[in-house]
Structure 1
Amino acid sequence: MRVRNSIINISAGIGSQVIITILSFVSRTMFITYLGVEYLGVNGLFTNVLGMLSLAEAGIGSAIIYNLYKPVADNDEERINVLMKFYKKAYMVIALIVLLLGLALLPFLGYIAKDAKVENIHVIYIIFLLNTASSYLFSYKSSFLNVCQKGYIVTGVYSISSIVSTCIKLGILYFTHSYILYLIIDIVITITTAAGLAVMVDKMYPFLKNKTASKLDDETKSNIVKNVKALILHNIGGYAVFGTDNMLIAFFVSVKAVGLYSNYYMLINICRTFINQVFDNMNHSVGNLVAKESDDKIYSVFKVTMFCNFWIYSFFTISLYVLMEPFITLWIGSKFIMDTSVLIILIINFYVSGMRRSISMVKTTSGIFHEDRYAPFLEATVNLGISIILVQYMGITGVFIGTLISTLAVPFWIAPYLVYKKVFHQPVRNYFLKYAYYAAIGIGTCLITSFVCSLISYGGFLQLIVRVVVCLIIPNILYTLIFYKTDEFKYLFGIVKKIIGMLIGKLGINKKITF
């Protein structure tokens, strides 16, 4: 059932993401055409600034979700209700805190966006702020659906919402060229979608509306408080590493440079979002697994998820390296191309941070938050220190080198150590040997794919399509030849057969497929 739920959730997520991705390219193209790179820079900068305010969430959601896995697996409605009521109250407070902190930053906007040549920048910031604060009002309901392994419903609702929102915003850009109206639509759609989803959850699980006099027991409260304290440190450290790039670039380079980088970030984030459809939906199945199964069973599933993690992230890393610059050149022009060193560091960061997904999944769903609570601060200190020094000499590339060094210095080794020690009860060297093996194969595959693509002339749409085909064929064929005898490959191949079987069943085809 866990595998089937994951397949449904992943399929729904990927299907909807294809449509959203196409619309996002159209939207970004029109955004650049009608508003320009300065507005693009402000958009990226305020997204980072308000990401900092979201630290007020402090990991409360993750801590409560971890406590929901077991009662959901046991169908304990009373305990679920108690946790959900607490979750709701916590998020109401968080929304208020985010709003107040955001308003407190208003007087400092001139320093944050010091060279931005954008009208009504304070109004734009306030709209961003309201959108961020309102996103917390009903999020506890969608989180519950995810824990119940029904993330495909959340995906479906938000996908429809995103499609409608993008279409309306495209119309606004075309007919009015108004960035403020463009942003207002986001608030209206955010609140409407979240409220509609909350109503849907209440209809699916009527017991959530029941009043309960029960309160959280002291042990659960203590556990949540302990984990939230640890997650506060994790979130602050994580933001300092990954959420400050745009602010550092804006301060030390320019807001315009943020706009140029945002195109690279958009393409990388599209890839990351596709991958997240796989891992986010697997995450709650792993949480259910951790709540019910033995350590050996969890470890055997982890080995499969790590293999899947490598295959997917290395494939997208290779594709980004080979295709990003020709795609941007064809899409919006060569003037939006940055130095090749920026591309190389960005995709290395993408791979290194992405390869943490499988180990982080087990760590989070096992409730390991407290043990490494100070690690993010060390990572953040290394990142900010190195980034600020290197940006003086290397420009924007130095910012991303700082991120890479800090990642390798701290979380790269500490998360595997804790999971292998506390969950798998095995030596962590097994993880690093496998990681190095996968990395060597990935690098070799990247070199071969890049060499073949270098034989294709750097030109128009047809040449880009040929490169896409090369990226689709070479890595996947090489990986199949290398891994086809492994247990992990056989397990994933079995899942692929199930997916094909489900699709054939949906299409009403009864022929038996043999492989």
Structure 2
Amino acid sequence: MKKSRTQKSITNTAVSFASQLIIILLGFISRRVLIYSVGVQYLGINGLMSNILTIFSLAESGIGVAIGYSLYKPLAENDVETIKSLMRFYRTVYRLLALMTAVVGVLFYPFLPVFLKDNTAPDANIIYFLFLASSVCSYLWSYKITLNSSDQNKYLYTIANTITQILVLIVKVFILYYTQNYIIYLCIELGSTLVKNIIFSCILDRRYPFLKEKNVRKLSDIEKHQLSRNIKSLFWGKFGYIASQCSDNLVISSIISVTMVGLYSNYTTLVSAVSGFVTTFTSGVTASMGNLIASESKEKAYAVYKRIDFINYWLYTFSAVCLLCLTEPFIKIWLGTDYILPKGILIVSVVLFYLKGLNSGVDVAKNAAGLYYPDRFVPLIEAMLNLVISIILAYRIGLLGVLVGTLVSFLLLSFWTKPYFVFRDVFSVRFSEYVIWEGKKILLSFVIGAVLYVLQLKIQLSNIYFDLLLKALFTGVMSNVLLCVVFFRADEFEYIKTMVQTIIHRVKHD
């Protein structure tokens, strides 16, 4: 029986959530073993290399999302010929991108020492090329994974990816623990990426047999124009976004030290882990939202968006409060007190996580509607502003200055421009309506966060494990109770309560 949009969203979200939980738990173990086996400097090199290779992926910026959006309508209408044409175009472009990334990576190699301040690792060059090889290989099968996600079957890839990552993480941790050899660790990761992509490619060939058909029509001029416009708009947007995200580590490594990148990466790993859980919700509903916008009225799409945005707000408020209250006691258990950074680093990191998280609710509607053109240059301007402010403040107040630069540049631009264009062009709703509603919610979140943070400081148990557990119970329960008290009369809350009751009823009777 064919699944509805809601059923597919629930399936995608549930599977992604379970996958994130397993991978994150194993990831924390892997990171602890990495630090104690080869040292925090290698952790910094790992983060730096990841950022450099992410910047190289700028060539891909916009293509995957644009193709994904272009697939929503033909998938909804079962237009196989258009799907075939888009996928053939996608495959050709990605093969060219793999070649371009390899060439750019080799040309960049002589400049690598500039970003490795205070580095004493003798094998940094080998590490760089292993990261480059992994990045190049990932391009060769990405187009099929995009089709699977756009067809609201992301859970299939998630299951396969989770099983592979579990096995590989176990092997990597075992090898690292007994050999203390980071090169072997990376070689295993590269090999597993190749095997995983090849296997999943074969699975998708069987699921979508038309991908192997030779008779594929060329895209029409109108299709090419629309696709080209979306890709160009997304390129500048993604360029700015990636540059903004990755410039922080580059500034830290070149002005402060590679070791500081490693220390701060423990915080970003924790934030990313929590973000990964929440993102399973937004990624699980984006394709369904795209299908809805393509086939329903603006009024219905807006009503659904408000529910999605409300759930997103609730999840990010709960997550931000937990991060604020529990990060330090968690790191004390996970790595030790030597890895705890100044309080200001934590506060700014959590505020950034929270505000960017709220914007991700807007991103669901933006990407689902294919609204890439109006604000295409905003992320680029933001990235330039972020780089300038971060460099100036890094020399004055160190790591905190880099984070403040990122926060200020985000608040000045992306934080308000994204919702402005979405409300104007997708829903035809006044932007002031969003500002008032969102402003009240943000103020409430800050009050809840501040109150619970002060109260949880009074919980001081001698056993660090029970201390963390009690603080987690207090923070988790009280943040949700306070949100329920404030919003129990809201229409969106009533809808979500009914939906949860329906899901529980179905689970019990299936």
Structure 2 counterpart of 1:486, from 486, 490, 494: 490
Structure 2 counterpart of 1:285, from 284, 288, 298: 288
Q: Which residue of 2 aligns with 1:314?
A: 317
Q: Which residue of 2 aligns with 1:145?
A: 148
Within a 5 Å distance, the mapping from 1:475-514 to structure 2 comes to 475-505=479-509
- Aligned residue pairs, count: 506
Q: Is the CA contact 2:81–2:216 (under 8 Å) kept in the aligned structure 1?
A: no
Corresponding position: 1:462 with 2:462: no
In the TM superposition, residue 451 of structure 1 has moved relative to its aligned partner by 2.8
Q: Is the CA contact 2:53–2:135 (under 8 Å) kept in the aligned structure 1?
A: yes
Structure 2 counterpart of 1:34, from 25, 37, 58: 37
Corresponding position: 1:426 with 2:426: no
In the TM superposition, residue 149 of structure 1 has moved relative to its aligned partner by 0.6
In the TM superposition, residue 23 of structure 1 has moved relative to its aligned partner by 0.8
Corresponding position: 1:413 with 2:412: no
Q: Structure 1 CA distance, aligned partners of 2:277 and 2:509? A: 25
Q: Is the CA contact 1:9–1:150 (under 8 Å) kept in the aligned structure 2?
A: yes
Which AA in structure 2 matches 1:337? Answer: I
Structure 1 counterpart of 2:366, from 363, 366, 370: 363
Q: Structure 1 CA distance, aligned partners of 2:74 and 2:505? A: 32
Q: Which residue of 2 aligns with 1:348?
A: 351
Task: State the secondary structure of the residue aligned to 2:426.
Answer: helix
Q: Which residue of 1 aligns with 2:278?
A: 275
Corresponding position: 1:216 with 2:216: no
Corresponding position: 1:49 with 2:52: yes
In the TM superposition, residue 383 of structure 1 has moved relative to its aligned partner by 0.7
Q: Structure 1 CA distance, aligned partners of 2:461 and 2:66? A: 49
Q: Which residue of 1 aligns with 2:184?
A: 181
Within a 5 Å distance, the mapping from 1:41-440 to structure 2 comes to 41-440=44-443
Q: Structure 1 CA distance, aligned partners of 2:376 and 2:27? A: 37
Q: Is the CA contact 1:275–1:312 (under 8 Å) kept in the aligned structure 2?
A: yes
Task: State the secondary structure of the residue aligned to 1:356.
Answer: helix
Q: Which runs of 5+ in 2 are unaligned?
A: none
Which AA in structure 2 matches 1:499? Answer: I
Structure 2 counterpart of 1:20, from 20, 23, 35: 23
Q: Is the CA contact 1:82–1:212 (under 8 Å) kept in the aligned structure 2?
A: no
Q: Structure 2 CA distance, aligned partners of 1:271 and 1:159? A: 17
Q: Structure 2 CA distance, aligned partners of 1:364 and 1:9? A: 17
Deviates more, 1:441-450 or 1:471-480: 441-450
Q: Structure 2 CA distance, aligned partners of 1:198 and 1:505? A: 36
1:262-284 CA-to-partner distances (Å, cap 9, x unmatched) read 10010000001111111111111
Deviates more, 1:343-352 or 1:10-19: 10-19
Q: What is the root-mean-square deviation in Å for CA atoms of aligned residues?
A: 1.1
Which AA in structure 1 matches 2:114? Answer: Y
Q: Structure 1 CA distance, aligned partners of 2:468 and 2:216? A: 62
Structure 2 vs 1, CA of residues 295 and 245 (structure 1 numbering), >3 Å: closer, same or farther?
same
1:477-503 CA-to-partner distances (Å, cap 9, x unmatched) read 111121122111112122222332343
In the TM superposition, residue 104 of structure 1 has moved relative to its aligned partner by 0.8
Q: Structure 1 CA distance, aligned partners of 2:452 and 2:92? A: 52
Which AA in structure 1 matches 2:478? Answer: I
Q: Is the CA contact 2:236–2:379 (under 8 Å) kept in the aligned structure 1?
A: yes
Which AA in structure 2 matches 1:325? Answer: E
1:35-61 CA-to-partner distances (Å, cap 9, x unmatched) read 110100000010111110010102111
Q: Which residue of 2 aligns with 1:512?
A: none
Q: Is the CA contact 1:81–1:212 (under 8 Å) kept in the aligned structure 2?
A: no
Q: Structure 2 CA distance, aligned partners of 1:223 and 1:422? A: 17
Q: Is the CA contact 1:38–1:256 (under 8 Å) kept in the aligned structure 2?
A: yes
Sequence identity percentage: 36
* TM-score (norm: length of structure 2): 0.97
In the TM superposition, residue 194 of structure 1 has moved relative to its aligned partner by 1.1
Deviates more, 1:349-358 or 1:14-23: 14-23
Q: Structure 1 CA distance, aligned partners of 2:263 and 2:502? A: 42
Q: Is the CA contact 2:419–2:431 (under 8 Å) kept in the aligned structure 1?
A: yes
In the TM superposition, residue 212 of structure 1 has moved relative to its aligned partner by 2.2
In the TM superposition, residue 77 of structure 1 has moved relative to its aligned partner by 0.7
Q: Which residue of 2 aligns with 1:511?
A: none
Q: Structure 2 CA distance, aligned partners of 1:344 and 1:71? A: 45
Which AA in structure 2 matches 1:501? Answer: H
Q: Structure 2 CA distance, aligned partners of 1:332 and 1:420? A: 44
Q: Structure 2 CA distance, aligned partners of 1:284 and 1:478? A: 32
Q: Structure 2 CA distance, aligned partners of 1:134 and 1:182? A: 17
Which AA in structure 2 matches 1:426? Answer: V
Structure 2 vs 1, CA of residues 343 and 458 (structure 1 numbering), >3 Å: closer, same or farther?
farther
Q: Structure 1 CA distance, aligned partners of 2:502 and 2:96? A: 44
Structure 2 vs 1, CA of residues 213 and 309 (structure 1 numbering), >3 Å: closer, same or farther?
closer
Structure 2 vs 1, CA of residues 39 and 144 (structure 1 numbering), >3 Å: closer, same or farther?
same
In the TM superposition, residue 458 of structure 1 has moved relative to its aligned partner by 5.7
In the TM superposition, residue 296 of structure 1 has moved relative to its aligned partner by 0.3
Q: Is the CA contact 1:321–1:344 (under 8 Å) kept in the aligned structure 2?
A: yes
Q: Which runs of 5+ in 1 are unaligned?
A: 507-515
Q: Structure 2 CA distance, aligned partners of 1:208 and 1:320? A: 44
1:61-94 CA-to-partner distances (Å, cap 9, x unmatched) read 1111111100000011111111111111111111
In the TM superposition, residue 138 of structure 1 has moved relative to its aligned partner by 0.6
Q: Is the CA contact 1:69–1:291 (under 8 Å) kept in the aligned structure 2?
A: yes
